[in-house]
Amino acid sequence: MFVPFALLAVTAVAPGADAASGGLLREAGTWLAGHGALTIFVAFVLCGIGLHLSEDFILIPAGIMTVDAVTGNVSWPLFVEYGIAAWAGIILGDIGWVWICRHFGARILGSRWFLRLVGPRTLLEMKYEVDRRGAWALLAARFIPGARTPMITVCGLMHLAWWQVLLVEMCGVVITAPLQMLIGVGVAKLGQQFESDAHRWMLYIGATLAVVLVTFILHLVIARRAKSANKPRAKVTWLETLRGTAAVRRAPRHRLQNN
């Protein structure tokens, strides 16, 4: 969903696009230009609840969409509108994931796909940080590539106070979302140097993918250094207890009564 969003956003900011290359993509881009805030909000809610993809896929194209493709001027009212939509969508999506982890966390930990996505070692490291620093660990994780999703998951599993989660999310997102959108603004400004719309599209799409790739590489470097440094983590009994709870909940009632 999010790569097409980037492509459509790029199309929307290129009013001089050739008619032959426009078609359905052009129409969808025009629709996004008029409903960008709603699209950004819904995309982030879905991303937070279960997809857990990079925010750059949405925020950088959103920043690009605030720049006029002809004059190069930034529509700051539109920038604020998109920023508020992103802020609300990210918070609601993260809160939704925290709620899911609080109520179905044991079952999530029992699923292979989630442990492959995050990894038990990472969860134990995040729990150690939460035990030690509390809500400050959640705030710091927002600025570390690859740390946000496992940290939010652990906060949900540990039933961290709702007011702490909300306060950290509101303060953290108000910093990160505009910064990522400003990257898009900078990319759009750079694109003004190209006369060809096709070259602008290539720059916009390439820059978005490049930022996501750099973020992913940073995540891999940080994860590898954490493993080599033998980063402290919580005891594995915490995960075993949660998995045991999931097993009990999934067991049939008559089997529990016989035991």
Extents of the domains making up the chain? 2-249
Q: What is the pLDDT of residue 7?
A: 43
Cβ–Cβ < 8 Å for 176, 142: yes
Cα dist from 229 to 64, 168, 221, 222, whole Å? 39, 28, 12, 10
DSSP string, 12-78: HT-TT--HHHHHHHHHHHHHHHHHHHHHHHHHHHHIIIII---THHHHHHHHHHTB-TTT--B-HHH
DSSP letter at 115 equals H
Q: What is the pLDDT of residue 3?
A: 43
**The residue to which tokens 């440094």 are assigned:** 229
Span 22-45, pLDDT tens digits: 444 455 555 555 677 888 898 888
Share of the chain above pLDDT 90, in %: 12
Q: Which helix (H) or strand (E) holds 88?
A: helix 76-109
Span 227-241, pLDDT tens digits: 665 677 777 777 777
The Cα–Cα gap between 225 and 22 comes to 46
Span 41-84, pLDDT tens digits: 988 888 877 666 778 888 888 888 888 877 778 888 999 999 99
DSSP letter at 231 equals -
